[in-house]
Amino acid sequence: MLFSAYMEHLFIFLGVLQILAGLYLVYEAAKWLSYARRRTGTDPGFYSPRTAVLCPCKGMEPGLERNLTALCEFDHQNYEVFFILASESDPAASIVKRVASQARGKGHVIFAGPAQNCGEKVHNLRTAVQQLPAEFEIMVFADSDGRPGHSWLRRLTAPLTDSRIGASTTMRWLIPNKNNPPSLLLAAWNAPILTMLGEDATKNFCWGGGTAIRKSVFDQSAVMDEWQNSVSDDYSMTSALQRVGRPIVFLPECLTVSYVETDFAGLMEFTNRQILITRVYSPKMWAIAGATHLLFCVTIALGILLTLEDFFAGRPSMQLAALTFLPLLLASLRGAFRVTAAQEIFPALKDQIQQQAWIHLLLGIWIPYLYSVNFLASVMTRKIRWRGIRYELISAQQTNIIGR
């Protein structure tokens, strides 16, 4: 009885703490939605510098040709696309060549060769930057699994009219191609990352699937040096910009749709990889996020157990049930803000996003348990698998390739 009373008091403390944290995060999510709405209504203007869009490619993935074609259809008049592969034997090479040849002179294909002591994506980007003609003023980094909109490039480069800006960046919004549990979980897992970026440009980080930077800033910040032995293009670029005090502007209006389908093995490979990379390249963020998710999971699990114990013992249990339910409700509200923003940013996809809203309102509230598994896995190993290649992440400045 004494132990049970102690556990109830502990849960009440944790439950109140989660409710207070949840209320604060709902307030922050509301501010984020307001910022997204202001940004979406902003006119990007007529800034049209000479721009190079760099897109590393490897292997086949859902909608690859349509994704790459979207990179050749922007309403920005002064740009060219550079698709980079490690070798001509890559399964995606034929599609990449076809898209580039149909891009009316805007498309180019670069074969970078095998990577050594860094991630293949980073190696591909380093090779492309080294070969880039000097006349390009802006570099934009995109991923082959995203499908940006027609005005994406013009909007993404617009803030760089201010020479004080380090980079402008955005994030992905995942839409499952299949209704199988792993694909749905992946979409729900990704969504909370959106609200980690916001109006405060000093706290943002670059996302490799959608970042624009002046070539001069790229050189002054020594991004190439950061990339030399790195597996993470975006975290390393963020570190370089933070070191020289350059702010990173987040543009919610440039959110990039990515159509996904995966199985449980793919889900765990992707999510574990992202969290381990965060541990190596941003340990402070990793520690705070890990503690937050683990505490949430412990609180909810303890609340459910104590509520059921009191219920079956015939004791009053409604107060415990309420303390368990309210943090989940607040998490669902945060999901609702994200869904609302996505619907407004992607009006052509509004109905589809609405039909999948339950993923973020119901399934999403249990995603902290998946995150907790990812955080625990990141403590156990420094090895990841990324597009068929196995890496060991020794540190942010040292990467070993241990299998192809």
Are residues 178 and 290 part of one domain? no
Q: Which residues are registered as beta bridge partners of 82? A: 54, 108
Predicted confidence (pLDDT) per residue in 143-177, tens digit: 999 999 999 999 999 999 999 999 999 999 999 99
**Residue 75: predicted pLDDT:** 93
The pLDDT of 322-337, averaged and rounded, is 97
Q: Establish if 67 belongs to a structural domain.
A: yes
Are residues 367 and 335 part of one domain? yes
In this predicted structure, the answer to whether residue 32 has a pLDDT above a threshold of 70 is yes
**Residue 104: predicted pLDDT:** 77
Under the banding of pLDDT at 50, 70 and 90, the label for residue 313 is confident
pTM of the model: 0.96
The pLDDT of 298-304, averaged and rounded, is 96
Are residues 172 and 115 part of one domain? yes
Percent of the chain exceeding pLDDT 90 equals 92
**Residue 208: predicted pLDDT:** 97
Number of domains present in the structure of the chain: 2
Are residues 101 and 29 part of one domain? no
Contacts of 260 (CB under 8 A, 6+ apart): 62, 145, 174, 175, 176, 177, 183, 186, 187
Predicted confidence (pLDDT) per residue in 61-79, tens digit: 989 999 999 999 999 989 9
In this predicted structure, the answer to whether residue 274 has a pLDDT above a threshold of 60 is yes
Beta strands across the sheet bearing 398-403: 383-386, 389-395, 398-403
Are residues 84 and 66 part of one domain? yes
Are residues 371 and 236 part of one domain? no
Are residues 269 and 255 part of one domain? yes
Predicted confidence (pLDDT) per residue in 332-379, tens digit: 999 999 999 999 999 999 999 999 999 999 999 999 999 999 999 999
Percent of the chain exceeding pLDDT 70 equals 99
Are residues 300 and 218 part of one domain? no
Are residues 269 and 157 part of one domain? yes
Are residues 384 and 299 part of one domain? yes
Domain of residue 146: give its range: 43-281
Name the domain boundary from 257, 281, 305: 281
Are residues 294 and 223 part of one domain? no
Q: Establish if 38 belongs to a structural domain.
A: no
Under the banding of pLDDT at 50, 70 and 90, the label for residue 85 is very high
24 or 104, which is more confident?
Answer: 24
Are residues 290 and 219 part of one domain? no
